[in-house]
Amino acid sequence: MLDQERVFTQADSAWLGQGPDSDVVVSTRIRLARNLTDLPFPLLAGSEELGQVLARVRQASEHLPEAKRYGIMELDRLSSLERQVLIEKHLVSLEHVQEPKQRALVLRDDEAVSIMINEEDHIRLQVLLPGLNLDQAWHLADRLDDSLEQHLDYAFDDDLGFLTACPTNLGSGLRASVMLHLPALVLLKQASQVFGTLAQFGLVVRGLYGEGTQALGNFFQISNQLTLNHSEEELINNLKALTGQVIEQERAARSRLYEELGNRLLDMVWRAYGILTHARLLTGDEAMRLLSDVRLGVNLNLLPQINLPELNRLLVITRSGFIQRVVGDTLSPAERDLKRAALVRDELSKNNNSN
């Protein structure tokens, strides 16, 4: 059963755990775009029509496998801070919360499954898992999609496939993506070349929170760009193969970085760790940069063992919305920096005490 308060105060989403190739791949996402056949797309729909979509999808979600694990949140009943936390945990998009009326989120209790209602499309079903888990994420998304389709009439064309608001999602409606941590490729100035190669094979590189966002802390999202005339398996296998190449390139770059920088790399990593464990003020951007350096050090065995899930948790804990929601009040930037530093010190102290 979904504990809504826990969603906004605990950083324990399933994708924050450890999975295959977690040294480079933080998480995997499969997202399916679907629309109902007899109602206009959300951008053209009126309030009454959006309400019809919400009611139908809510009812269909009650028949999902393990339905008791799911809960629904109507976005206009959440505070602005709570909506921001959902973005920071990658459970909704920025576009989804900008106009919250008649929009909702169906969420599983482990936060591995979220269904955005009335985003750009009527339904955005997504599965988020830790590490490189494309096959498992796809099989789960496909099963949930089949369940919804038993109770909803999807807009589908025999030639075009699933009909979507944006032409780039036509066809399978599938967007597969992986979140990668690529500090060595960035430090060695090889990232642009790697991203250029990915673009030639139909992949797009975005920032930490998707389209139009920055690559904070050397974290990047890589996903397929088009879906028309490609099966789900083709898209997933292409992303899997190319991600495997990037993983090997990043690992090779890390080895080269250690050979070339030696003590300078060691100093960079330990300096970052020292600041995180002792700082009294931390900005959000600084925290992400330092966490990136520490994560690199952990993966190169340059630091006492800190587990990756703990570092993943800090990707959420250090965000402004989460901090303020935990405190229960709107904070000034200086107050957020003070609280952020305290939360990071506390989390890293817990990790040290458990080892």
Whether 173 and 165 have beta carbons less than 8 Å apart is answered as no
Is the confidence at residue 209, as pLDDT, over 60?
no
Length of the chain: 355
Across 133-142, 149-158, 292-301, 342-351, least confident range: 342-351
Rounded mean pLDDT of the chain? 93
Per-residue pLDDT tens for 277-331?
999 999 999 999 999 999 999 999 998 778 999 999 999 999 999 999 999 989 9
Is the confidence at residue 354, as pLDDT, over 60?
no
Across 58-62, 115-119, 306-310, least confident range: 306-310
The residue extents of the domains of the chain are 4-254, 262-354
Question: What pLDDT sits at residue 349?
Answer: 87
- What average pLDDT score do residues 246-255 get? 97
Is the confidence at residue 68, as pLDDT, over 90?
yes
- What average pLDDT score do residues 158-178 get? 93
Strand partners, 34: 123
Question: How far is Cα 185 from Cα 246, in angstroms, rounded to an integer?
Answer: 9
Per-residue pLDDT tens for 74-105?
999 999 999 999 999 999 999 999 999 999 99
Question: What pLDDT sits at residue 227?
Answer: 81
CATH 3.90.870.30 fits 4-254, yes or no: no
- What average pLDDT score do residues 21-25 get? 97
Is the confidence at residue 211, as pLDDT, over 60?
no
pLDDT band at 139 (very low <50, low <70, confident <90, very high): very high
Burial 296-309 (b: 16+ CB within 10 A, else e): bbbbbebbeebebb
Closest C-alpha to 11, from 98, 127, 91, 113 = 91
Residue 332's contacts (CB-CB under 8 Å, 6 or more residues apart) are: none
Question: How far is Cα 202 from Cα 192, in angstroms, rounded to an integer?
Answer: 16
Is the confidence at residue 245, as pLDDT, over 70?
yes
Question: What pLDDT sits at residue 208?
Answer: 66
Is the confidence at residue 215, as pLDDT, over 70?
no
pLDDT band at 217 (very low <50, low <70, confident <90, very high): confident
- What average pLDDT score do residues 247-258 get? 96
Across 48-52, 226-230, 270-274, 290-294, least confident range: 226-230
Question: How far is Cα 64 from Cα 112, in angstroms, rounded to an integer?
Answer: 14
Sheet with 174-181, side-by-side order of all strands: 70-74, 104-108, 113-117, 123-130, 25-34, 174-181, 219-224, 203-206
- Residue 34 backbone dihedrals phi, psi, to 5 degrees: -140, 150
**Two tokens at 242?**
């190319």
Strand partners, 127: 30, 113
- Residue 294 backbone dihedrals phi, psi, to 5 degrees: -65, -40
Question: Residue 93: which region, alpha, beta or left (left: phi > 0; alpha: psi -120 to 50)?
Answer: beta
